Structure 1
Amino acid sequence: WWYFWGPSFLFQTSQSQAPLSELEKAIDVIIDVFHQYSRREGDRDTLTKAELKLLIEKQMVNYLKHVKNQTTIDEINKDLDINKDAQISFCEMMLLITRVTIATHDHLHEVEDQQHQHKHQHQHQHHH
């Protein structure tokens, strides 16, 4: 969907006057981290299998545990490489980040529910 905005939109955001929000800072961090690893070898804007492995091991070691079906890095690599060019683009990488973020969100709710189980039971009773 972002293609519709065209490059002019993307350039405007980088010079916007307002201070960045927390979410915008988080987006910047994701982009920066991707580039820290994508620049190491081969194409500067894609991850090789080795770069992806390093990024996952260094940057996602805690939260990857929240993904229900534990998979090996090889499987993740195969799964993400949608166009099968043996390179992971930023867009392909975002699929992993999205999956891990959703799994982490669900995990946090599970932990919360376990901690507040007795409180929750009262709130969720329906009175007819």
Structure 2
Amino acid sequence: MKTMILVAGLAALLAGCESPERNAETACINRIESESLSPASVKVVDITSHRSPYGNPTQITVDVTYDAANSFGVPLRSFRVCEFPFHEGRAVTAGPEWKGAIGQAVDEELRKSDEAIANAIAAQMN
């Protein structure tokens, strides 16, 4: 009985502990959904995260490949990179320290590309 209580207590303790990488991944997905025209349509295809530089990490980088519907409802595959400061053993996922994404110009170019593809598809359907 004592063993069962100990195991249950340990499981509850571990369930509340998420890795800094997992917290950063969740924050990146939340950011993608908040910027999406249709947040419910966001489906993560692949996600990876890593700390850098090796040995004395100062940031966590998250790479996300996802599908999301554009303004025409057409699902398009996109890629997003989020970078979070790593401080005192955790990812800083809010506040002025968070850059949110590497290269806003890259994000803007991806949006323009997605829109151009959607427009070309719509033009072919008419």
**TM-score above 0.5:** no
Higher helix share: 1
TM-score scaled to structure 2, two decimals?
0.29
Higher strand share: 2
